[in-house]
Structure 1
Amino acid sequence: MAKRCAITGKGVQSGNNVSHANNKTRRRFLPNLQEVSFMSETLGRAIRLRISTNAIRTIEHNGGIDSFLINAKADKFDTKVARLKKLIIKHQAEAAK
């Protein structure tokens, strides 16, 4: 499974461990990914995503997964999340009729 956030696109970064003697060895900085479920009010079901803790905070700040996806640009989204955004917009349009 890829170590990349489905919402923000955050991934693995590389750098160095630096010892007291200034020796450098390569290391990886992994993103803090969590498997979370969000309840979609529009779809009426839970949505499971593997996202960073930063993305969880952003979604909660924006009032839930539905309102976040509607207002966000889909340039960094995973294909699954982009499909989900289209589905939510479609369901909201049908409910407005």
Structure 2
Amino acid sequence: MFPTHPIFSTLPAALAQPFKRAALGLFHGKSIQHGNNVPHSLKKTRRTWLPNVHTKTFESPLLARRVQVKVTARALRTIHKHGGLDQYLLNTSPSLLGDEGMRLRLLVRERLDAQNALEARRAQRAAEVSAKEAAAREAVEKRAKRIKEDKTRRRTSEVEGGLVKGLFAPSG
């Protein structure tokens, strides 16, 4: 289940996780801590503290699906703070994401880039259509102006030529 995709070879070395289980979820930099229990007898015993990990399902609007992932309580709070899984993945530094986080981040980025390209194409088409419509409107206005000028020219030539005077002149 560990990622072997070639794109992961280009990731920075700072993504090295302190323990393998952190590679399978969003641990937000949390790792196993080691220390001692010290009772009243002062006899130290070694122990470990594991991160507070839960399996959660998040809605991803960009991926248009639900994503089930193991998260620590700290990562969960940060996801809520950022306003969702997509924003968390895009805005969090790679050193805190781990392998699974970077895999999800790449998926979200690819989808976001595809959406941006689609919106750019739509905007370009809309601009082309509006330019064509503007040219068509301009041609119609030009034709209407030409027709109006022709009518005005004909009327003035008829008045000057005496046609209107002869037809509508008072008889008598």
Which TM-score applies when normalising by structure 1?
0.88
Secondary structure class of the residue paired with 2:96: coil
Q: CA 1:7–1:20 in structure 2 vs 1: closer, same or farther (change >3 Å)?
A: closer
Give 1:55's aligned amino acid: A
Residue 86 of structure 2 corresponds to residue 66 of structure 1: yes
Q: CA 1:94–1:3 in structure 2 vs 1: closer, same or farther (change >3 Å)?
A: closer
Question: How far did residue 27 of structure 1 move?
Answer: 0.9
Cα RMSD (Å) = 1.5
In structure 2, the partner of 1:30 is 50
Give 1:18's aligned amino acid: V
Gaps of 5+ in 2: 1-19, 118-172
User: In terms of Rg, which structure is larger?
Assistant: 2
Q: Percent same amino acid among aligned pairs?
A: 32
The structure whose residues are more often helix, as a share, is: 2
Give 2:50's aligned amino acid: L
User: 1:55 & 1:66 partners in 2: Cα distance?
Assistant: 13
List per-residue Cα deviations over 1:40-60 (Å, max 9, x = no partner): 000111111111111101001
In structure 2, the partner of 1:94 is 114
Contact 1:8 1:55 in 2 (8 A): yes
Q: Which runs of 4+ in 1 moved over 4 A?
A: none
Question: How far did residue 3 of structure 1 move?
Answer: 4.5
Which TM-score applies when normalising by structure 2?
0.52
Contact 2:29 2:96 in 1 (8 A): yes
Contact 1:66 1:88 in 2 (8 A): yes
In structure 1, the partner of 2:8 is none
Instruction: Kindly tell me the number of residue pairs found equivalent between the two proteins.
Output: 96
In structure 1, the partner of 2:71 is 51
Question: How far did residue 84 of structure 1 move?
Answer: 1.1
User: 1:55 & 1:80 partners in 2: Cα distance?
Assistant: 13
Higher relative contact order (CA 8 A, sep 6+): 1
